[in-house]
Structure 1
Amino acid sequence: MQTVIIVIHLMIVSVLIGAVLLQKSEGGGLGMGGGAGFMSSRGTANLLTRTTAVLAVGFFITSLFLSWLASYDRKPSSILTPASQSAPAGGATPIQPPTSGGGVLDTLKKVDEQQQQAPSAPQAPRSQ
């Protein structure tokens, strides 16, 4: 299902790019706005404008549908409480928050002290 929507989305995007590039430049910012050609009639300009609008609506609808499909299977989670708390790897001791007073700076100071007490030599990875 998602693959079909992606293919439709990419086809809409490629046709939309082509429709925008075919339109006449009103301000002549690139120097290509003037001159006569098959784009000189008003009817063709209206057709391209309507086609661009329809393709833009299709682009937004497929974009919204793809984002909804991507988030459909996600389970809600809270950023305040982790879903699973596992033991830290490598036998490291978890840092306990200070219980009496103190703040972030005291916690950071304790972390630095714990890191200085640990051996500073690099350790080889252990296989399990």
Structure 2
Amino acid sequence: MQNIVLVVHLILALCLIGVVLLQRSEGGGLGMGGGGGAMSARGAATALGKLTWALAIAFIATSITLTIIAADQSAGSSVIDRLGGTSETEDSAPAPSLPDGSGLLPPSAGDAPALPPRAE
């Protein structure tokens, strides 16, 4: 089921790219200039515009369907569980113990070495 929806999704993506590239450029990026764009009556009336909207809606529907299918298949499992293997830490030797951290602190004033007296 997932493979069928995925193939339909890829075909829709290619068709959507083709239809968008076939449309006439009206200048001005992001719909600025050249008339109302998709929100005007003239923009929605063209056959390519309607086909673009239909392909976009179908593309979004297949995207949501693929997300739902993937979520159902992965519920309660992890990638490691699906591989059937064990992680590296289980196969290797136990980790060495860490030091207690007392040697990581700077020395206190009482631990400082005695300095020779200054010659004046």
TM bucket, shorter chain: 0.5 to 0.7
* Gapped regions of structure 1 (runs ≥ 5): 30-41, 78-84, 99-105, 110-128
1:71 maps to amino acid: A
Larger % of helix: which? 2
SS in 1 for 2:95: coil
Structure 2: runs of 5+ lacking an equivalent: 30-41, 78-86, 105-120
Please state how far the C-alpha of 1:71 moved relative to its aligned partner: 1.6
Code of the aligned partner of 2:69: L
Normalising to structure 2: TM-score of the pair? 0.52
- Identity percentage over the alignment? 39
Report the secondary structure of 2:46's partner residue.
helix
Aligned residues: 81
Cα RMSD, aligned residues only: 3.3
Q: Distance in 1 between matches of 2:70 and 2:53?
A: 26
Match in the other structure for 2:92: 90
Letter in 2 for 1:51: L
Distance 2:96 2:67 in 1: 37
Question: 1:26 offset after TM fit, Å?
Answer: 1.1
Q: CA deviation at 1:89?
A: 3.4
- Counterpart residue number, 1:63: 63
Q: Which has the larger radius of gyration?
A: 2
Encode CA deviations 1:74-100: one digit per residue, 9 max, x unaligned: 2347xxxxxxx996433223768x8xx
